[in-house]
Amino acid sequence: GDSVTQMEGPVTLSEEAFLTINCTYTATGYPSLFWYVQYPGEGLQLLLKATKADDKGSNKGFEATYRKETTSFHLEKGSVQVSDSAVYFCALSGGQAGTALIFGKGTTLSVSS
């Protein structure tokens, strides 16, 4: 069935460092891919998305490119801030599982000043 695999955390960085969080997926068909972010004590909120191969999603300095050949959707940011500290989830929808929204286990990012 459809699944999402993220790199294990936590990821600890200093302010202004470069961030990469790896995400790969398994799905039949052409799923849409998402990154969601969860701040402490809150629900998840959409960070960015891509709906077809080679699309690049971007928001708040974060970006990710839908790579069908490597089944990947890695999240990157050139210069992280303390306020970026949160849990990041990679997700897919629309593959074999139909319209279900399937998440990876999440990666905790901690940024220090």
Partner 1 sequence: DAGVIQSPRHEVTEMGQEVTLRCKPISGHNSLFWYRQTMMRGLELLIYFNNNVPIDDSGMPEDRFSAKMPNASFSTLKIQPSEPRDSAVYFCASREGQANTEAFFGQGTRLTVV
Cβ closer to partner 1: 5 or 72? 5
Compute CA distances 72 → 25, 90, 91, 104, whole Å: 6, 10, 11, 12
Other residues' Cβ atoms within 10 Å of the Cβ of residue 102: 21
Let me know how long the chain is. 113
Cβ closer to partner 1: 45 or 79? 45
Interface with partner 1, residue 53, by CB under 8 A: no
Q: List the one residue from 11, 89, 109, 111 that touches partner 1 (CB under 8 A).
A: 89
Residues at the contact surface with partner 1, assessed by CB under 8 A: 31-32, 34, 42-46, 49, 51, 89, 93-94, 97-106
